[in-house]
């Protein structure tokens, strides 16, 4: 069975492709390279450059490679920027997903693993987020991901599409020196870029009601995340039951201050972070349980915080 990985040239998508490869499962990548990188795709993996908004390209790709399932990661992923670019966000994430689903239906492709997001929850008012926590997205990005889940679920009811949606929290680390997080908005790249440029990393707010006053988030290793995608795909392929959605969380958060201290330990670069004012809208704590995913997707935290930092730093240094 061959799986199409949309957005497979991105940081997460490239890890998913490698996870398929490690299990001996063939995959094909489609990516418009708007944020992905061609050199992130393993050399032996077929690559199609193009957008998921191109239904004809999708259909020809399904036919050419005899695609039997899709892992859908392509999309516009910058929540903050989505507030300034809502139409672009909806075009990429909602129209793109609808176009993909139409092409799948046309070619009889009946399995999909969807890359959703913790952003569907907005700012939760609970200490531990479960799949049943109220969905209150606070950005066009979060709204578009929730609509994507709805579209896929509706197609499941209408046409028998087998599906599951994986809601990520803070994805970090690297499973290979060939791929690293290139986002200009994520915490690890911001810290590493500052250190490599000789600048001091910054913390936005140290007066939150948390143990060290800095925001607490749920950090998960990208290789663990990729493995969960493959298990989800395998369950769909085998006709085994899956939940409509899974949180991929640790159940135990880490503060931004702890991240900074771990970076200093791992890199050997001593620094005292600059303290900036809080950012508007940043909740004090967002942590999720991964119990359902542990039950069904072999989900678990296989990496310590220092291992997450070390793998990310090593990959970033390799690319410098």
- Residues with a catalytic annotation lie at 141
- Is residue 78 packed enough to be buried (19+ CB in 10 Å), middle (13-18) or exposed (0-12)? middle
The CA-CA-CA angle for residues 244, 249, 250, to 5°, reads 145
Tokens encoding 123: 């700012």
- Helices within 29-110 (DSSP H only): 55-65, 79-82, 86-90, 96-107
Instruction: Report how far residue 193's alpha carbon sits from residue 74's, in angstroms, rounded to the nearest whole number.
Output: 25
Query: d(Cα 67, Cα 112) in Å, to the nearest integer?
Result: 11
* List of E strands, 79-224: 111-117, 162-168, 170-172, 202-204, 216-217, 219-221
- Beta strand 274-276 pairing with 202-204: parallel
Give me the sign of the Cα torsion angle 279, 283, 287, 288.
Answer: negative
Tokens in use for 168? 């990520």
Residue 165: how many other CB atoms lie within 10 Å: 26
Whose tokens are 């663990």? That residue is 224
């Amino acid at each position: 069975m061959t799986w199409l990985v949309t957005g497979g040239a991105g940081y997460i998508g490239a890890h998913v492709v490698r996870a398929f490869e490690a299990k001996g499962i063939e995959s094909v990548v489609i990516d418009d390279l708007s944020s992905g990188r061609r050199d992130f795709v393993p050399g032996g993996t077929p690559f199609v450059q193009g957008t998921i908004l191109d239904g004809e390209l999708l259909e020809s790709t399904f036919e050419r490679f005899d695609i039997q399932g899709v892992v859908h990661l392509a999309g516009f992923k910058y929540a903050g920027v989505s507030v300034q670019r809502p139409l672009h966000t909806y075009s990429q994430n909602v129209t793109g997903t609808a176009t993909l689903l139409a092409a799948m239906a046309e070619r009889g492709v009946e399995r999909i693993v969807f890359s959703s997001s913790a952003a569907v929850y907005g700012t939760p008012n609970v200490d531990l987020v479960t799949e049943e926590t109220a969905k209150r997205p606070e950005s066009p990005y979060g709204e578009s991901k929730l609509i994507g889940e709805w579209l896929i679920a509706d197609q499941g009811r209408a046409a028998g599409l087998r599906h599951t949606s994986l809601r990520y929290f803070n994805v970090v680390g690297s499973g290979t020196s060939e791929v690293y997080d290139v986002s200009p908005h994520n915490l690890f790249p911001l810290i590493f870029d500052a250190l490599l440029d000789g600048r001091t990393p910054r913390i936005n707010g140290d007066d939150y009601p948390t143990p060290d006053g800095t925001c607490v988030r749920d950090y998960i290793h990208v290789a663990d995340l990729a493995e969960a995608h493959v298990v989800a795909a395998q369950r769909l392929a085998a006709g085994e039951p899956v939940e409509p959605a899974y949180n991929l969380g640790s159940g135990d958060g880490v503060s931004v201050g702890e991240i900074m201290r771990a970076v200093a330990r791992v890199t050997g670069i001593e620094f005292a972070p600059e303290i900036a004012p809080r950012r508007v809208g940043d909740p004090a704590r967002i942590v999720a349980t991964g119990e359902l995913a542990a039950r069904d997707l072999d989900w678990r935290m296989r990496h310590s915080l220092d291992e997450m930092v070390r793998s990310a730093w090593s990959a970033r240094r390799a690319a410098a």
